[in-house]
Structure 1
């Protein structure tokens, strides 16, 4: 049967189960002069004529009858989805009209994002997949009574079809980078031995790629810290510590789907070393297809007014000084292109795309210490107000163009313009 006729048959059948009066038109208008690829679009549920029938799923079709991969996400945890999310291409100053219908069976789409998180409850028990966890201050790998790493890949990892990242949930709270050589998702067994034990098996090359970035005592790419009276304060501790300066750290996968994965991290009662202060920090790393980057939204409460939020980019290879580039009126880019990889084996471009409205310049961390060998963007923040930014990693084996500094810079600047482009969404 012809593919379009098959789709028509499916939708005709769905009309017997789901009210066809709920069919709508979604008109997307690119208001910028930039052609957009894999542009993220989120539509709130209350904009849609959601049918009363339970178990109905929205499907988007282009004017030529092609299906647009999409997912419904429950981001507030109330067991009801909040928004419809998808990515699409739009011509410069152009428009696209999609037809939204409802079907009784959840559609299956190619998987282009993923989150992996696993934990073992003792040194002798196998790793089990989890969607959430809480780490307390006395539960570090070197805390008395522990003496082992409980987390697969030291904490959650997330990826899309271009690149992967991981967060050191074991108290260090730095963000590392997985270089990918394929578009498919890396195996769920990365970081686990054949017997289910935690194993560092991702620093060797596999078909999908490997962990490539050297982090040291930096905050990694997009990690958080705080500047108080010109003093650097690490969020958490180092690998050699046995007690955390964060009372408890919680992690939860908010959504994991074919076109978007989102996590939530919350640091309760962070007491920066040498201070009597106490903060709560939250962040929401998110990733969708098509970009060598992830989005993060961070907020901090308990501020006294003399702090600057620091967003990090490691600098273990000082060959290429950081570049600061303004992109239109919306973004500031911090960028390096050198060998920020194990044994300086490969070229790796790193960048932060930061909101210009709160950017206060950058600072270089000391070459040694508890927070070291990194550049940090200084961000003006208000108590419990979000700051959204993007962290980029371009490995030469992921994309041959990234061997050249100019090509990586052009990619980052184009990505910043695409992220800043406004798309008007009309639901009719």
Structure 2
């Protein structure tokens, strides 16, 4: 009888130990440290899947907790293989602060307030309605002038957060435009579509949410890119009246769309310039809290005489360009009535890396790419360059952006925050 009791006690202890081990595998502590002396607001944190030592079921979802407070997060599948690659969230830090986050894996996907979004739609003919899409393949002879109609809602994809919105002219022009948002809410899905589903430019008039405010013309807008070859500016793509693209195939994909992060990717295959064919890749990422987006560009097929150009449209700028060095960054800042008909005050900026930066030039007065400041970069095959494009208008919820000094201080402080690395320690 006593042997049975002892055996039962031992079995019970084994079960408790197994349960404890299982709990340890499920619960993880993420220790994050801001070792800098500056405040960090909506600081993005990316943790790769392979940084977690424990096995994670593909059917489970992360729940991040500090005490009883939940931190919105999402899992991104960057390589589109059906399995998530990274855990993404944003978080605030005081100076020299360490935060310990409890990570639990749960069976039901949490729901969070949506603070980022991508909107993309296409119609297959002039007389068919726009349908939502998450990817696209555009051939050189399929640009809107050759087709005789605009196939894309808002001329291409738009992306936004709670502060500002942008759009990319996927129709061959590859310029980037700005939507000034008056509220933090995500803009309606039917922007750029009429009542019967056709493509309509209805976003250059004021709505409760805001409007497109940024004139682009033949520039590449805010953050588009080009190349300088033998002292000639070469555009990635075409202008609105061209019928044949200089890019053989453009592939677009919404890589991620979630409450705290949206990512768009582009591949430009056989971009023909001066008899050479280049390959280019572009990745655009946005998260809450920032009046801007991150862009990463990579080129291949380079011969050695090329310079990467990153564009900052200067249409309606009568006050010139302000250049500010901030650590490892260079901030190119302009602030004026940069909007249509100089109706509203807006600041735009590029936050670019000092590494490989070769100065700024102005685009030609005539040609395929005009009306721009162009940041020049030494570029190497398959070596990505990441930068940030910033836009803040007096129409936004923060009315202080009407002031030039306020906008400059915002850009400089943002550059400092972006340069600050967070130390990540995973305790399984």
TM interval, shorter chain, is: over 0.9
Give CA deviations for 1:196-250 in whole Å, capped at 9, x if unaligned: 0000000011111100000000010000100112211111000000111110101
Distance 1:45 1:175 in 2: 32
Distance 1:21 1:425 in 2: 19
Matched, 1:34 2:35: no
Task: Quote the RMSD (CA, aligned, Å).
Answer: 1.3
Give CA deviations for 1:321-347 in whole Å, capped at 9, x if unaligned: 11111002x100101001221111111
Give CA deviations for 1:383-420 in whole Å, capped at 9, x if unaligned: 01100000000111112111010000000000000000
1:178 aligned counterpart, secondary structure: strand
Task: Specify the alignment match of 1:387 in structure 2.
Answer: 385
Residue 58 of structure 1: CA displacement?
A: 1.1
Task: Specify the alignment match of 1:67 in structure 2.
Answer: 70
Distance 2:279 2:360 in 1: 23
Contact residue 113 and residue 289 of structure 1 kept, 8 A? yes
Summarize the alignment of residues 127-146 of structure 1 with structure 2, pairs less than 5 Å apart. 127-143=130-146, 146=147
Task: Specify the alignment match of 1:314 in structure 2.
Answer: 313
Deviates more, 1:385-394 or 1:53-62: 53-62
Matched, 1:86 2:84: no
Contact residue 175 and residue 220 of structure 1 kept, 8 A? yes
Task: Specify the alignment match of 1:335 in structure 2.
Answer: 333
Task: Specify the alignment match of 1:286 in structure 2.
Answer: 285
Contact residue 58 and residue 83 of structure 2 kept, 8 A? no
**Pick from 59, 78, 82: which aligns with 1:55?**
59
**Pick from 14, 25, 44: which aligns with 2:29?**
25
Task: Specify the alignment match of 2:15 in structure 1.
Answer: none
Matched, 1:230 2:231: yes
Matched, 1:404 2:397: no
Contact residue 366 and residue 372 of structure 1 kept, 8 A? yes
Matched, 1:174 2:175: yes
Task: Specify the alignment match of 2:203 in structure 1.
Answer: 202
In structure 2, the gaps of 5 or more residues are: 1-18
Distance 1:260 1:175 in 2: 19
Distance 1:83 1:31 in 2: 23
2:109 aligned counterpart, secondary structure: coil
- What is the TM-score when the length of structure 2 is the normalising length? 0.93
2:38 aligned counterpart, secondary structure: coil
Residue 20 of structure 1: CA displacement?
A: 5.5
Contact residue 19 and residue 51 of structure 1 kept, 8 A? no
Distance 1:372 1:92 in 2: 43
Task: Specify the alignment match of 1:191 in structure 2.
Answer: 192
In structure 1, the gaps of 5 or more residues are: 1-14
Matched, 1:104 2:107: yes
Residues 50 and 197 of structure 1: CA distance in aligned 2, closer, same or farther (over 3 Å): farther
- What is the TM-score when the length of structure 1 is the normalising length? 0.93
Task: Specify the alignment match of 1:10 in structure 2.
Answer: none
1:122 aligned counterpart, secondary structure: coil
Residue 21 of structure 1: CA displacement?
A: 2.9
Residue 50 of structure 1: CA displacement?
A: 5.0
1:346 aligned counterpart, secondary structure: coil
Aligned residue-pair number: 407
1:296 aligned counterpart, secondary structure: strand
Give CA deviations for 1:57-104 in whole Å, capped at 9, x if unaligned: 111001x31000000010011100001000000111111110001110
Residue 52 of structure 1: CA displacement?
A: 4.9
Residues 27 and 192 of structure 1: CA distance in aligned 2, closer, same or farther (over 3 Å): same
